[in-house]
Structure 1
């Protein structure tokens, strides 16, 4: 198990962890009813914080930010000499957490995406993990919740008896939701984005050889070019430029400004 604390990548404090380290932390928090905020961050997630001080504040206030994308894992090695055997990929982390929850008799709640996706994923979970209890599901509203709606959602999750929540609202809304609600819920909240569609069987994953070489973005861009072109073509190049500048010691004060002094606005 690897858990070596956190390291700064573009001002975002990425956790130097492996799958076992994250699963152990989540299961322990779930068993002891302890708040825990987790997000699996690829390049896009890192850049949402690098370009927005309020989102940077939210991200760095979470407990675990896994290196979901290979370029994030590589930056840990380039900038800090931290070598990991693999990235901690959101969909794989979800699968391992579901298996661990089944073994431990813990229940899960699925919050996000569309009802069609939730129904398909629930059916797949029943087949793959027949002893796993799904305490409840709730689709995204695809907009910011009002304060009253958010309170009702928190109560709905509490009443369900869930021990952990998978949050799939899309980045950066899902990280904002975890930031705003983890203490109110006193359980692990794990932001995992596209894992909902992948595990529902409605969105194919890139071949492993592409994932291992950091080319998953090419596969996803080919699938959804109109939606993802800016995220991958513009932000990927900007990420490489920023990482290079951090490696050269430029913009040092900017990269070290990991916490914004003001309270972040709600996105939930």
Structure 2
């Protein structure tokens, strides 16, 4: 069943162009109807990776919702003349869905992070979201996903959250989503934040769209990864320039 959102193409990746509220309302509707959905929250780094890896790009085209996670996507859309209203981040979406799942007594399955982290996440969910049925969880360090997938198939959770980082989490979801009519979503490093092992940027940094800088201060080893942002913006301006040439 197709979704209702209009799409905005950024460097050949189609993003949904909508608000957080509208998106969450749609996911709630999908979940109540037990519709199988695949959510990707994509930032500039993911867009660049998809350009260099056709197999991964194909996975993104098969996702039901690709959301603009990262101010770079919002800025890129504005530069190209196809503005989006706001970011739809993986962590905020996860937290909103946990709140909704708790109020509607939904079931979830968690995959990802280190064993100590996933144990903390499970404990946090049981204490902070007592109405959620946590039907299972597994750390992200596995060579064979057969047992995990078998458990998901048996338990048929309403939501499957996978935190193994891109591209692994999207590959896992695309490979296995047919076993359960769930909402499947890759959530990157969100489990580390939920467990309290990594601090999210304070509200000031979030409001000024410099969470990336806060994360760089926390993890200087991310510097090489941060170089994706200027490369991405360079491609955006090249795309804009090509568009102007075509018009002329």
TM exceeding 0.5: yes
Select which of 217, 235, 240 maps to 1:247: 240
- 1:166 is matched with 161
Q: TM-score, normalised by structure 1?
A: 0.83
Counterpart CA distance in 2 for 1:8 and 1:184 is: 30
- 1:256 is matched with none
Counterpart CA distance in 2 for 1:120 and 1:229 is: 28
Residue 242 of structure 2 aligns to a residue whose secondary structure is coil
- Given that 1:14 and 1:66 are in contact with CA atoms closer than 8 Å, whether structure 2 keeps it comes out as yes
1:13-47 CA distances to partner (integer Å, 9 max, x unpaired)? 11112222332333333333321110111222222
- Given that 1:121 and 1:196 are in contact with CA atoms closer than 8 Å, whether structure 2 keeps it comes out as yes
Counterpart CA distance in 2 for 1:174 and 1:218 is: 25
Counterpart CA distance in 2 for 1:73 and 1:8 is: 11
Residue 140 of structure 1 aligns to a residue whose secondary structure is coil
Counterpart CA distance in 2 for 1:158 and 1:20 is: 30
- 2:170 is matched with 175
Deviation at 1:108, TM superposition (A): 0.8
Where in structure 1 do 4 or more consecutive aligned residues deviate above 6 Å? none
Deviation at 1:61, TM superposition (A): 1.1
- 1:224 is matched with 219
Q: Does 1:129 align with 2:155?
A: no
- 1:68 is matched with 69
- Given that 1:40 and 1:65 are in contact with CA atoms closer than 8 Å, whether structure 2 keeps it comes out as yes
Query: What is the root-mean-square deviation in Å for CA atoms of aligned residues?
Result: 1.9
Q: How does 1:1-268 map to 2 (within 5 A)?
A: 4-84=5-85, 86-141=86-141, 145=143, 149-226=144-221, 228-232=222-226, 234-249=227-242
Counterpart CA distance in 1 for 2:228 and 2:175 is: 26
1:211-263 CA distances to partner (integer Å, 9 max, x unpaired)? 2333111111222222x22110x21111010111111226x9xxxxxxxxxxx
Counterpart CA distance in 1 for 2:5 and 2:151 is: 35
Deviation at 1:64, TM superposition (A): 0.5
Deviation at 1:67, TM superposition (A): 0.7
* Structure 1: tracts of 5 or more residues without a match: 253-268
- CA separation of 1:182/1:22 partners in 2, compared to 1, >3 Å: closer, same or farther? farther
Task: Using CA pairs under 8 Å that are at least 6 residues apart, name the structure with larger relative contact order, 1 or 2.
Answer: 1
* Structure 2: tracts of 5 or more residues without a match: none
Deviation at 1:89, TM superposition (A): 1.4
Q: TM-score, normalised by structure 2?
A: 0.90
1:72-119 CA distances to partner (integer Å, 9 max, x unpaired)? 1222233243331x3111111111101111122211111111121111
Counterpart CA distance in 1 for 2:141 and 2:197 is: 19
Residue 60 of structure 2 aligns to a residue whose secondary structure is helix
Counterpart CA distance in 2 for 1:184 and 1:27 is: 20
